[in-house]
Structure 1
Amino acid sequence: MSRIALIAGAGDLPRALVRALSGQGSGPMVCAPEGVMPEGLAVDTRFRFERLVPFLRHLGDSGIRQVVLAGAIHRPIMDPALFDRETAGLVPGMVAALAGGDDAALRWVIGVIESFDLEVVGLSDLAPSLLVSGGVLTARAPSVQEAADAERGQAILAAMAAVDVGQGCVVASGLCLAIEAVFGTDAMLADVARHRPTRTPQTGGVFVKRSKAGQDLRADLPTIGPATIPAAKAAGLSAICLQAGHVLVLDRAAVVAAADAADMALWAVP
């Protein structure tokens, strides 16, 4: 079996994936863009997006046949002076993809990688244990109101998917308090926390986290971790609803313990 290249972004997900792969042969070649520091991992290869083509050729020359994407990579600020000729030829497609939303940009990246005879594989195939399964994870099940708010959140996210926006939203008493945009979950929850003391309802509500309908699940899977629980609690929320089989839960035992300590319901639905 050929070695896998892990294109690692920020956060703990790349390290969790390396741990999950540790019993499946040799570890992956860890690659990261310049300026991105995967937590707790040594980086084997650094690259710049301005020289994407030479980097992808390097992977093939190194015996890599499969690539997995994991971790947060924010849209880079690129230096026109650093482009090689072949990568510069990709710029029009890159600009159009970036204008189309996160999923469009990731589809473009995956297409470019696979044009170099590299297969992009998903976390759901490599490490399915990281994905949440269906059912209630915490000691407390959701209330009738929380379940209704979760259904409302699912409907909101389904409506937003057509314009490639939103893997998460916050709903309380049927009212949408926030939708996760390009700044991510932490920014959304912090915004809710900032406004709730002066808005109604001031407490309660559900954070709903799902993949976008039609999303390519080989990249940018929705993710929560231990830090999500105190952020949701600070936002006055009482529950979190995830999409079974589509959301990554990092350090699941710690997440569940934190939710139980906060008396929050945490569950997953299809």
Structure 2
Amino acid sequence: MAERTPWAAGLSFSLAFILALALPGPAQADALLDRLRASASVAGPPAFERTLRLETDGETAPLVRVDRHDPALPDGERWSLLSIDGRSPGDKERDEWRKQVTSQQPPGYHRLHILLAGQPDSIRQEGPLRIYHWKALKPGALGMKGPDFSGRLSAEAILDTSGQEPALQRVRIYAAKPFSIMMVAKMRAFEATSDYKSGANGTPFLVRQTTRTDASIPFRGNGVIRSEARFRPLTKQPHTTQKLTRGQPAAG
């Protein structure tokens, strides 16, 4: 089977969801949000197995990739690529995957205090749901190598306050309007939705991330990329098959 290397896979993100209409209240200090970010700041990167399904315009079939991240392993061995489309990956595919995982932070709750830094622009309550909105992310919020377009993106976070302890339910990152990157690439649409459930010791665990990107990139073409990633927590150190031999996700 021929190897496939989908362009800009590291940027692919999205799923639109509907929120009930309500007038947002003015921004203010919020104790629940402060507690959430303080908890995230002391949480470590999670150990997970990720199954990513990626659909790219022009491809006849989606790509399905399975990899793992285990922060308990030594530097350079934390990421492992298990399979692509149910088979052992080829050299070119391993190289492309390695570029992607070393250019980004491992996803998860542990980065929430960085991603959602600063005072939200509005806060509103809809029944048990407390909804926060940021018009623009802070510089470096995405934690990616290369051009930083964090400030061109907006964010929403939803907390469920119906239980004894507030629970993080969803985080949505999106572009409110098209923008250019380095005056070369054009991002027509960008959206990422991350769903969380309570994990070990009550710490939120990322269980699902859906993404959509519509971009124009020189020498790579135009098109829409959609992805769905599902995460399974690892309860013990996994046996790895394809180790990342050098480099690791940048600290941030």
TM-score (ref. length: structure 2): 0.29
Please identify which structure carries the higher helix content. 1
By percentage of residues, which structure has more strand?
2
Indicate the structure (1 or 2) with the bigger Cα radius of gyration: 1
